[in-house]
Every structure is written in structure tokens, then in C-alpha cells.
Amino acid sequence: MKEVPEQYKPSDWLSEVIPRKTPYFPQIGDEVVYFRQGHQNYLNVTRAKQLYDPGARCEPWLKKDLREVEYVRIVGIKYEIRPPRLCCLRLAIVDPVSGAFSSYFSIKYHDIPDVIDFLVLRQYYDAAMDNNWKVGEQFRCLIDDSWWIGTIEAQNAVDLDFPDSPFQCFQVSRY
């Protein structure tokens, strides 16, 4: 019996059996926060490293007016079994006032080391935003199964096209 080539084996991300906060692994019905800037960053890294060609179809903001932060619910999941293994998600935009679905879009992605998640479970996002972080405050966060402690040094938009986005808006120093 032949060994399955390494490039076709499921990644650790897809075969993980221990629940983790990151990287995010999607489940049908999850309410998540979608960061447009993070998705653009993911696509930029994918293209720069030539991991696969996402094409323009993978940029939903070209077809739909997406805000920098969208509340979405995962309503469909498929996997592409080609190197790399891609998770294809159908996302329903949740109207923040009524909770109804206002429209849909689809994305493809996979976990890339050192690329920050652009999908975050809504309960984690809401808990973080409820803290109303300020410059000078200390915090701790879990990254790669280790606790990191730091102090917020500054808060600035990472991209001037999205001045109000919370995506990577804090400059921090580690203890």
C-alpha cells in the first residue's frame, strides 16, 4: 500500500481533536466576526507565497459592499482536497439590529502560520470589545497555547482606508 503524499494529508488545523481558540475551525451555525482587512491580508500572503491562486472571485468586497467588520453566520461548509486543503464557507451577513440574514457571500481559506485569523467567534470578539481597551492598560492573551502579557502602547488604524476598524489597531509591548 502506497503512502499518501504529504501535500494531500490533512493539515494539523483540519485534523485537530483538542478545542482551541485559534486558529479558528469553522462549524455550521457558528456566529463569527469577519474582518475584511484580515481576509485581504490572508489573500496577499497566499499570492505572495504562491500557495494557490485565489483569483478575484475570492474577494467578496468586489461584488458586495462589505464593512470592515461584519457579523456573519456560517451556513455552509465544503472542503477542496487539493494542495492546500481549503475550507470553503458560505456566510450569511447578520443584520446587527434585527438579527436577520441580509445577504450572503462565500470565501475559501486555510490556516497559514503567522497570518492572523480574519474569522473570530463572535463571543470572543464581543468579550474583547466589552473591555473597551485603553492605552496604558495591561492585558494577557493566549497565542499558540502560551499566555502573553503586554501593555497597550497606542491605538491606531492599521489601514487608513478603514479608520474605525478594530483589526490589529493596538500597538503593544510585551513584558
Query: What does the domain layout of the chain look like in residue ranges?
Result: 6-130, 135-175
Could you read off the pLDDT of 85-115 as tens digits, one per residue? 889 999 999 987 888 888 999 999 998 888 9
Q: How confident is the model at residue 1 (pLDDT cuts 50, 70, 90)?
A: low
Query: Model-level pTM?
Result: 0.87
32 burial type by CB count under 10 A (0-12 exposed, 13-18 middle, 19+ buried)? buried
Q: How far is C-alpha 129 from the chain's CA centre?
A: 16
Contacts of 120 (CB under 8 A, 6+ apart): 24, 32, 33, 35
Q: How far apart are CA 153 and CA 135, in angstroms?
A: 5
